[in-house]
Amino acid sequence: MGSIHLAKLHATGNDFLVWSMLDGAAAAVSPALARALCDRHTGIGADGLILLTPGTDGADATMTLHNADGGTAEMSGNGIRALAWVAAEAGLGGDALVVDTGAGRRTVELRRDAGGRVVQACVDMGSVTFDPARIPLDAESPFGLSATLDGVTYTGDAAGMGNPHFVLLVDDVANASVIEHGPRLERDPRFPRRTNVEFVARAGAGALAMRVWERGVGETMSCGTGACAAAAVAVRRGLVGPHVTVTVPGGDLTVDVGTTLRLGGPVVHVFDVTIDPADLLQEDR
């Protein structure tokens, strides 16, 4: 394979490595390689590895997402905004970018600074689903689900944003047992593909506070699809109006809940790096 060039970016602390394959030289990415690159101790470190490849049938680009555990995921709201930064640097799109993902086609609007670099991105995330078959969820209803762990009972709703979410309503996200209970809730048997788990509290008019245990990653500083799922659940329950600020450990995201959901927030380029993957996979050779 030889050396590869990656860009590291973060969106409210949710960090990604973006590997541009726009020159058409697409390469197979093994779970082991994704794990090695994302490892925070022996690799570069990230919540996920994103492949940026050319678009087809009218799309500007295609996104393929590998979680830090090497598995693939359908969609990431923060990840697609990071990908948009790299695509824009390569000259794709203008003020908007059309991207195909595992969850369908998405449009990303770009906001640039005076120098022309992208500093914020807003993506139309499509519609939320509460249909158990589409989430997917093995239950008759996605509403009012409960789970009891170590004497703590959680109650919340399941929602689908192209990937599954279990949105739990808590009194205080700061003291929520995210690390202790997140891994077990991720593998709740009612979710056949596992699930992202959001711990959410109302934080004032039009505002939510959220921590998230991300499927295949662990606790992350932010999750775009999770923010959308949390906002959709909170709007349905009458806790907030349709314009929601979701505060996560990495900053603030905005979600507009309508026929579709629109997710907005900052995008920050951290650095570029060139690396030979073989150096990270020596134990496998």
| Concatenated DSSP letters of 211-252 | EEEETTTEEES--HHHHHHHHHHHHHTTSS-SEEEEEETTEE
Q: How far is CA 162 from CA 130, 155, 156, 261, in A?
A: 11, 22, 19, 12
Q: Are 208 and 240 in contact (CB under 8 A)?
A: yes
What tens digit of pLDDT does each residue of 23-69 get?
Answer: 876 677 899 999 999 999 999 999 999 999 999 999 999 999 999 99
Residue 22 has pLDDT above 80, yes or no: yes
Q: Are 6 and 37 in contact (CB under 8 A)?
A: yes
Cβ-based neighbours of 135, under 8 Å, separated by 6 or more: 129, 142, 158, 159, 160, 164, 165, 191
What tens digit of pLDDT does each residue of 136-165 get?
Answer: 999 999 999 999 999 999 999 999 999 999
Tell me the CATH architecture of domain 145-259. Answer: Roll (3.10)
Domain residue ranges of the chain, discontinuous segments joined by +: 4-122+267-284, 145-259
What tens digit of pLDDT does each residue of 208-250 get?
Answer: 999 999 999 999 999 999 999 999 999 999 999 999 999 999 9
The rounded mean pLDDT for the chain is: 94
pLDDT of residue 46: 97
Spatial distance between the Cα atoms of 186 and 71, rounded to a whole number of angstroms: 14
- Identical fold for domains 4-122+267-284 and 145-259, yes or no, is yes
Residue 96 is encoded by which pair of tokens?
Answer: 């908007």
Give 285's pLDDT tier (boundaries 50, 70, 90): very low
What tens digit of pLDDT does each residue of 185-213 get?
Answer: 999 999 999 999 999 999 999 999 999 99
| Concatenated DSSP letters of 166-202 | EEEE-S-GGG--HHHHHHHHHT-TT-TT--EEEEEEE
| Topology of domain 4-122+267-284, CATH | Diaminopimelate Epimerase; Chain A, domain 1 (3.10.310)
Q: For residue 54, is the peptide bond before it cis, meaning its omega torsion is within 30 degrees of 0?
A: no
Q: Are 120 and 111 in contact (CB under 8 A)?
A: yes
Give 171's pLDDT tier (boundaries 50, 70, 90): very high
What tens digit of pLDDT does each residue of 181-190 get?
Answer: 999 999 999 9
How far is Cα of residue 40 from the mean position of the Cα atoms in its chain?
Answer: 18
Put simply, whether the predicted model's pTM sits higher than 0.95 gets the answer no
